[in-house]
């Protein structure tokens, strides 16, 4: 079967048609069809070289009064053929090698040569945000990317919220506390752990992207429930029209409400962290790092930048909390005599001050950085950028391209599924009438959600959405390292490649895309990806 050719008339329609028509063929063992002759892209070649370091596992079954049945039309993992079983084997167990055959992957921290922080999940896992601006980014584009490293059984959902006008003196209920609402919130699309209100990463209708990193600092983070760093990501997106405006909003809310509370859905212990942010728009990027209510920020207008779960700002700070240095002196962390170095002053004494894996992955790129370059970086397990350990996993990823030419739309690619090396990046474009994507959204439990009850997290409901369930099966096939898994992986990448090519045509077109055609773009890509898995 040949790959459907990319037409030039309606790129988005062709993208969806490509997903719908390019179904995975059965392996030669079935005797029905030949395996597809798929040319490997650079990403595919990198994935084929990636050693399988962790055996696939059947997703844990959660018994809870909140357990939901599979939505209509969704396949059960326990039964039913998805159409590409290996020699008649159609259950995850039949694709899973014994644990003794493949040792668990090392911690991301260990892979970077850093002290392991995984036991008890007491520390922030290695996680990375990236930005590339001209001249390093290609064709006058700003390219943004993030891997979200979270507890490996946590589900992330991709959710679109339209712009809304709010009543005067209304409140907004964040993850743990309520705060004053603003008169109008912007349209946003976010990827978030399904149990909380905020976001790990996302974008708004004005071309602002924000991502958050949990960080460890000399001053322990507050366990008292306040705003989470992830709440501040969403609040910045809902209220800011530029990266700088979003930064100002975040630090103002930080000063008013503070940050604190459990970052994980865990009833047994509180995992609280300080926060760092990468805020990006079409013109510039800002790195914001916070310790309690104190903060420092650096403006980036060209080149590349990576942030991770460690403080990175040193002596170059374009803005800072007015009492930052006074506070450091009062704690005995800075004498006031030598040059003020934010990371040295506020980092733990035993902390490593260089996000080496992400920084090296980005800076070693010799050619102009593109969307595909950023995707390849996020998929790199060998460097530690893509985390896959016993406790943590890259549970979702985003890549955004922000043209400096304002006549071109910003395009945001979400996986909505774990492990970018086993996932498809699907495009989203803001228009006035975006079609909601319930298949990428987790079940809603309302006031019965254990995350909202006191005490919190006494149960863990099944938060898997339909796309997540379908992807669980596909990931088990891929991780089996059998011929059918390799074939599936290559085919997924070819579909993704066609999507990237279709979006490049939109970016290069002198005319803006037809809103009627791109409003359901992400919906159609999710829908056809699920059909493809079946």
Q: Confidence band (pLDDT; 50, 70, 90) for 104? A: very low
> What are the two backbone dihedrals, phi and then psi, of residue 86, each rounded to the nearest 5 degrees?
-85, 115
Give me the mean pLDDT over the 390-395 stretch.
96
Q: What would the two tokens of residue 374 be?
A: 């950023």
d(Cα 166, Cα 432) in Å, to the nearest integer?
18
Reply yes or no on whether the pLDDT at 412 is more than 50.
Answer: yes
Residue 236 scores a pLDDT above 70: yes
Task: Choose between 398 and 60: higher pLDDT.
Answer: 398
- Is residue 210 within 8 A of residue 236, CB to CB? The reply is yes
Reply yes or no on whether the pLDDT at 273 is more than 80.
Answer: yes
Alpha-carbon radius of gyration of the chain: 23
Question: What residues have CB less than 8 Å from 304, skipping those under 6 apart?
Answer: 130, 131, 132, 133, 136, 362, 363, 365, 369
What whole-number distance in Å separates Cα of residue 10 and Cα of residue 287?
A: 38
Residue reference for tokens 């910003």: 410
Matching residue, tokens 């930052």:
324
Q: What percent of the chain has pLDDT over 70?
A: 75
26 pLDDT exceeds 50?
Answer: no
Burial label for 131, CB within 10 Å (0-12, 13-18, 19+), is buried
Lowest mean pLDDT among 57-71, 177-191, 275-289: 57-71
pLDDT at 125: 82
Tens-place pLDDT, residues 316-368: 999 999 999 999 999 999 999 999 999 999 999 876 545 656 667 777 777 89
* pLDDT at 2 > cutoff 60: no
Please spell the DSSP secondary structure of 454-491, one letter per residue. Answer: SS--SS------HHHHHHHHHHHHHHTTSHHHHHHHHH
> Of 61-70, 179-188, 258-267, where does mean pLDDT reach its minimum?
61-70
Confidence at residue 160, expressed as pLDDT on a 0 to 100 scale: 99
Residue 116 to residues 43, 110, 394: CA-CA distances in angstroms?
29, 6, 17
Compute the average pLDDT of residues 227-253.
99
Q: How confident is the model at residue 497 (pLDDT cuts 50, 70, 90)?
A: very high
Mean pLDDT of 490-515: 94
pLDDT (0 to 100) of residue 96: 34
E-assigned strand segments in 90-229: 128-133, 141-151, 156-161, 164-165, 171-173, 178-180, 184-185, 188-193, 201-204, 209-215
Single out the residue of 508, 486, 520 nearest to residue 370, CA to CA: 508
Task: Lowest mean pLDDT of 97-101, 255-259, 452-456, name the range.
Answer: 97-101
Q: Where does the pLDDT of residue 532 fall: very low under 50, low under 70, confident under 90, or very high at 90 and above?
A: confident
What is the Cα 320 distance to its own chain's centre?
28
Burial 25-43 (b: 16+ CB within 10 A, else e): bbbeeeeeeebbebeebeb
Helix count and strand count (H, E) for the chain: 14, 18
Average pLDDT, the chain: 81
Half-sphere exposure at residue 76, Cβ-oriented, CA atoms within 13 angstroms: 6
**C-alpha span between 206 and 237 (Å, rounded):** 9
Q: Which of 25-29, 98-102, 149-153 has the lowest mean pLDDT?
A: 98-102
Q: Catalytic one among 40, 129, 174, 270?
A: 129
CA distances from 482 to 51, 52, 84, 485, 486 (A): 13, 11, 12, 5, 6
Q: Please state, in angstroms and rounded to a whole number, the distance separating the CA atoms of residues 24 and 400.
A: 28
Do residues 56 and 422 lie in contact, with contact meaning Cβ atoms separated by under 8 Å?
no
Residue 492's pLDDT is 94
Overall average pLDDT of the 3-13 stretch: 39
**Chain centroid to CA 401: how far?**
15
- pLDDT at 93 > cutoff 50: no
pLDDT value for 301? 98
Considering only 12-26, 61-75, 194-208, 349-363, which range has the smallest mean pLDDT?
61-75
Indicate whether 61 pLDDT > 70: no
Say which residue the tokens 């055959």 belong to. Answer: 101
26 or 266, greater pLDDT = 266
Residues in the chain: 534
Q: How would you class 219 by CB atoms within 10 Å of its CB: exposed for 0-12, middle for 13-18, buried for 19 or more? A: middle
Let me know if 129 is a catalytic residue: yes
Condensed to tens digits (0 to 9), the pLDDT of residues 425-479 reads 999 999 999 999 999 999 999 999 999 999 999 999 999 999 999 999 999 998 8
Q: Which of 320, 273, 278 is nearest to 295 (CA)?
A: 320
Nearest to 23 by CA among 534, 532, 428: 532
What is the share, in percent, of the chain residues with pLDDT greater than 90?
Answer: 68
- 31 pLDDT band, cuts 50/70/90, is very low
Distance CA 90, CA 83 (A): 9
Residue 109 makes CB contacts below 8 A (sequence gap 6+) with: 115, 116, 117, 118, 123, 125, 126
The DSSP bridge partners found for residue 290 are 275, 295
Highest mean pLDDT among 90-99, 120-129, 446-455, 476-485: 446-455
β-partners of residue 411 are: 401
Q: Strands 294-300 and 319-320: what pairing?
A: antiparallel
What is the spatial distance between Cα 473 and Cα 396, in angstroms, rounded to a whole number? 17
DSSP 91: S
Q: How far apart are CA 96 and CA 52, in angstroms?
A: 12
pLDDT tops 50 at residue 294: yes
Beta bridge partners of 128: 147
**CA pair distance 428, 317, nearest whole angstrom:** 34
Domains of the chain: 11-104+470-499+509-533 (no CATH), 123-408 (3.60.60.10)
How many other CB atoms are there within 10 angstroms of residue 268's CB atom? 7
Please, which residues have CB within 8 angstroms of residue 531's CB and are 6 or more apart in sequence? Answer: 19, 20, 23
């Amino acid at each position: 079967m040949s790959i459907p050719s990319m037409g030039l008339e309606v790129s988005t329609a062709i993208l969806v048609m490509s997903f719908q028509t390019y179904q995975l063929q059965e392996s030669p063992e079935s005797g029905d069809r030949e395996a597809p002759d798929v040319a490997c892209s650079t990403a595919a070649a990198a994935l084929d070289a990636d050693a399988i370091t962790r055996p696939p596992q059947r997703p844990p079954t959660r018994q809870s009064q909140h357990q939901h049945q599979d939505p209509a039309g969704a396949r059960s993992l326990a039964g039913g053929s998805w159409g590409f079983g290996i020699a008649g084997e159609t259950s995850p167990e039949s694709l899973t090698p014994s644990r003794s055959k493949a040792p668990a992957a090392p911690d991301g921290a260990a892979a970077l040569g850093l002290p392991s922080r995984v036991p008890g999940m007491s520390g922030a896992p290695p996680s990375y945000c990236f930005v590339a601006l001209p001249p390093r980014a290609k064709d006058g584009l700003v390219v943004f990317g993030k891997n979200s490293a979270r507890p490996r059984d946590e589900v992330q959902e991709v959710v679109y919220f339209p712009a809304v006008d709010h009543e005067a003196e209304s409140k907004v209920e964040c993850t743990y506390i309520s705060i004053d609402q603003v008169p109008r919130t912007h349209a946003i699309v976010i990827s978030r752990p399904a149990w909380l209100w905020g976001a790990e990463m996302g974008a708004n209708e004005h071309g602002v992207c924000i991502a958050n990193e949990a960080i460890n600092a000399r001053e322990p983070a507050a366990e008292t429930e306040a705003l989470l760093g992830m709440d501040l990501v969403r609040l910045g997106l809902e209220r800011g029209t530029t990266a700088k405006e979003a930064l100002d909003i975040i630090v103002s809310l930080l000063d008013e409400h503070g940050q604190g509370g459990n970052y994980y859905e865990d009833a047994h212990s509180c995992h609280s962290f300080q926060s760092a942010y990468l805020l990006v728009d079409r013109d510039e990027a800002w790195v914001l790092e916070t310790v309690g209510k104190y903060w420092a920020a650096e403006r980036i207008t060209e080149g590349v930048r990576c942030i991770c779960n460690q403080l990175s700002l040193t002596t170059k700070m374009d803005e800072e909390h007015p009492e930052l240095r006074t506070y450091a002196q009062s704690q005995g962390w800075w004498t006031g005599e030598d040059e003020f170095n934010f990371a040295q002053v506020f980092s733990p004494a035993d902390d490593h001050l260089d996000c080496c894996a992400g920084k090296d992955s980005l800076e070693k790129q010799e050619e102009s950085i593109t969307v595909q370059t950023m995707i390849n970086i996020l998929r790199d397990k060998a460097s530690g950028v893509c985390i896959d350990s016993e406790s943590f996993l890259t549970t979702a990823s985003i890549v955004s391209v922000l043209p400096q030419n304002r006549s071109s739309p910003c395009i945001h690619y979400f996986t909505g599924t774990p492990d970018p090396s086993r996932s498809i990046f699907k495009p989203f474009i803001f228009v006035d009438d975006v079609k909601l994507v319930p298949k990428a959204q987790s079940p809603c439990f309302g006031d019965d959600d254990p995350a909202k009850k006191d005490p919190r997290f006494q149960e863990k409901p099944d938060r898997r959405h339909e796309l997540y369930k379908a992807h669980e099966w596909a990931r088990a096939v891929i991780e089996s390292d059998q011929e059918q898994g390799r074939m599936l992986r290559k085919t997924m990448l070819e579909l993704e490649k066609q999507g990237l090519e279709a979006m490049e045509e939109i970016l290069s077109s002198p005319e803006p895309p037809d809103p009627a055609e791109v409003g359901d773009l992400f919906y159609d890509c999710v829908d056809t990806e699920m059909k493809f898995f079946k």
